Amino acid sequence: MALSDYSFINLVSVREDIVSKKISALDLVELYLIRATKEDKYNAFLEVFSDSARTAAAALDQKIASGEAIGELAGAIIGIKDNLCYKDHCVGASSKILDGFKSLYTASAVQNLIDQDAIIIGRLNCDEFAMGSSNENSAYGVVKNPIDTSLVPGGSSGGSAASVAANLCMASLGSDTGGSIRQPASFTGLVGLKPTYGRVSRYGLIAFASSFDQIGPFTKSVDDSELIYRVMAGKDPLDSTCSKQPVHKKRSTQSKFTFAYYEEVINSPGLHPKTKELFFNKIEVLKAAGHEVISTSFPYLEQLVPCYYVLTTAEASSNLGRYDGVHYGARSKASEDIPSTYFNSRTEGFGLEVKRRIMLGTFVLSTGYYDAYYSKGQKVRRLIKDATDDILSKADFLISPTTPHPAFKVGEKANNPIALYLEDIFTVQANLAGNPAITVPMGTTEGGLPLGFQFLGKSFDEETLFAAASLI
């Protein structure tokens, strides 16, 4: 077979092709290195790890030749968001303040993939410190949507979405703090998973908001998403917030489900007409297959986004305090003493949106405002969690469109941060409540732009979530 003729189907078939020596891992890596370097018209990759990818591929070929057992992800060519650490490789959260910084260790989620013979091909562009909904906030330029380069790919994991949608890698990892996997997956026609909080270790993930962040995959199928999830998930002694609950290795055999949706969401005036049409079409498909679909109401819909931004900016202002030009990362050349080092390094190193969120977070945590904002936000989060659990006591899943509309133009909302914050309206509930959620392609607009269908499930019940997602 000519190398250029090789077509990716799914991760299981890639492993079979390598084991049968239909193609070598090294040849496969060379094919994707060409794609990631010469065919990346979208600014998806910040850096391609050519040397380490070739070394890993050669080692995998040697294992196969010697008859050794190989991992579940053998031959999987995977890109990682630029906020995931990979030992001896640069990582920078797409920020100038970490320009040139090399990690001293590997994130647990990434290491779990490597242990199963996945090959990490490079680091992917994102909104700076994962703060954004369009991937226009990166210090290294805007990422473009492979479906139409005049459009954004979504954010903050825009490079992770674009790389898979453009076939520059087989799958990728992103992080989801309020929809940063699911929204770009919806905009690019992919499957995007946010696991239950604590299901996948956050060790080695550069923190934005520690009680919200989760690592998850971008894939072209539910099966590939499930495979990567099972490899990554599980307890980790390096992350005290990581759950010790066992990870089920098989998809649920449940065949009939009850789905609930919010009347307020579907009747929202901001919902794109095609989004509403496709959503109800899918509901009819589910009903015809014997599933029950019920409409319900959610009392805190208008509080979701404000609560999310009060709490995440507070956590961000705390987490980003470590970037001071002293410990690691970039240091301003105008530094003369400790105060000027802090001030100049942060002024030069952080972008506008990161500065905005640090200031917002510092404000809501400040004396005189803590009780009015942060403390109240925590109480509202508890109410949201309880209301979510109450709905899921009556239904197996909460369903909704992933986003109100398809991808928008580059620059269209760049000067309107409130409009960008509202992009998270359908996705933040899963992060506030800690529940798992997955988006799958729902269909396209008349212009061919993808729209996503979201399932929000019960905590630590991803095996049933995958079963339901496979229905669409």
Q: Which residue has the tokens 């579907």?
A: 266
366 is catalytic: no
315 in Cβ contact with 212 (< 8 Å): yes
Q: What length is written for the chain?
A: 472
> Angle CA(443)–CA(446)–CA(447) in degrees, nearest 5?
100
Catalytic one of 180, 201, 225, 317: 180
HSE of 77, CA atoms in CB hemisphere, 13 A: 32
What is the b/e burial string over 214-223, where b = at least 16 CB atoms within 10 angstroms of the residue's CB? bbbbbbbbbb
CA–CA dist 177, 9 (Å, integer): 30
Cα dihedral 72/78/80/85 (nearest 10): 50
User: Which tokens in the block code for residue 291?
Assistant: 């599933």
Q: 328 pairs with which residues across the strands?
A: none
Catalytic one of 24, 81, 186, 194: 81
211 is catalytic: no
Q: Which residue has the tokens 């929000």?
A: 456
What is the b/e burial string over 167-200, where b = at least 16 CB atoms within 10 angstroms of the residue's CB? ebbbbbbbbbbbbbbbbbbbbbbbbbbbbbbbbb
CA–CA dist 106, 349 (Å, integer): 24
66 is catalytic: no
- Burial (CB < 10 A; 0-12, 13-18, 19+), residue 444, is middle
Catalytic one of 108, 156, 172, 225: 156
Active site residues: 81, 156, 180
